[in-house]
């Protein structure tokens, strides 16, 4: 499934017909960031988004968040850099982002939730990379 035409100006929309083995944390981060950007751009330019378009965007976001959630939980549970308190905080942030998928959420809150999830993925990837570098040194 592709994002609506409104969201493909100048960028390729995230594709979601991949198996779970192809979607990485980075690709989920990129896709969520793209959707958040597209929603914010539409808001800034005063464009409306139809219910069908929002439903399609929510579907793509749900798939990306689902894959990212599984991968993040694996990363957090296997990392010695992540304490239980930090995992609880990250899970809370992830759940807040998931709540923005509800159809009654405003487009601005939806975009903010998607961006928050993308930022959480990025910070988790960076923390793990830093921790791995320290172990090697």
Which residue reads 């090697």 in tokens? 136
Number of domains in the chain: 1
Reported as a single tens digit per residue, the pLDDT across 30-75 is: 999 999 999 999 999 999 989 999 999 999 999 999 999 999 988 8
Mean pLDDT for all residues in the chain: 83
Which residues constitute the domain of residue 57? Answer: 5-136
pTM for this prediction: 0.78
Extract the tokens encoding 131. Answer: 């921790």
Reported as a single tens digit per residue, the pLDDT across 111-129 is: 999 999 999 999 998 887 8
Q: Which residue has the higher pLDDT, 132 or 55?
A: 55
Nearest to 56 by CA among 115, 118, 110: 110
């Amino acid at each position: 499934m592709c994002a609506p035409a409104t969201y493909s100006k100048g960028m390729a929309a995230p594709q979601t017909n991949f198996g779970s083995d192809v979607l990485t944390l980075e690709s989920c981060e990129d896709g969520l960031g793209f959707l958040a950007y597209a929603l914010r751009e539409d808001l800034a330019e005063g464009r409306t988004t139809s219910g069908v378009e929002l439903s399609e965007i929510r579907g793509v976001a749900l798939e990306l968040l689902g894959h990212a959630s599984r991968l993040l939980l694996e990363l957090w549970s296997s990392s010695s850099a992540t304490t239980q308190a930090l995992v609880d905080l990250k899970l809370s942030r992830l759940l807040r982002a998931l709540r923005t998928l509800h159809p009654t959420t405003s487009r601005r809150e939806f975009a903010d939730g998607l961006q928050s999830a993308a930022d959480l993925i990025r910070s988790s990837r960076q923390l793990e990379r830093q921790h791995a570098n320290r172990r090697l040194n």
